[in-house]
Amino acid sequence: NIGRRMAVLFAEEGANVAICTSRNMDGLDATASEIERTGAKVLARQVDVTDPEAVDGFVGAAHKEFGRVDVVVNNAVYRSEGDLLEEPVDAWMRNIAVNLHGPYYMCKAAVPHMIDAKWGRIVNFSGIAPFLGSYPGKSMVKLGIVGFTRGLAKQYGEHGITANCI
């Protein structure tokens, strides 16, 4: 689990960490315990990244707890695969909501704190799906996050904020 490993590595480097999941609370609790063992503070919450109010509350709680929000890693994912013609519309929409709206809501909540601090880092995850000709829904959102990241980098670079896509 790359999200878990990143969170622990940030903690090992001395960062306090806010982590969330929409469903896997056992995994989140285990990650939080591992982070606490490093001596770092951790804020762990159940958050659906497709809910802008939940995301605002989560980012606000992190800022209140730690006094800052320096780095955002958008690692939530909804895996969509299969035949485009057979995929239900609600699955198509959930794919877009998690993989594109989620990072938008997270950045919309966190970037103002970064602007105030004149520093921030945003890391978004994409992949090679669109270049391999993977399932159209997956390819679409993965290319969309690349464009979103480039737009963030250009728009907020003057505030000391970088945005990169893996």
pLDDT tens digits, 90-125: 999 999 999 999 999 999 999 999 999 999 999 999
Rounded to two decimals, what is the model's pTM?
A: 0.95
Look at residues 125, 144, 132 and name the one whose alpha carbon lies nearest to residue 81. 132
CA 120 to mean position of chain CA atoms: 14
Return the DSSP state at 100.
I
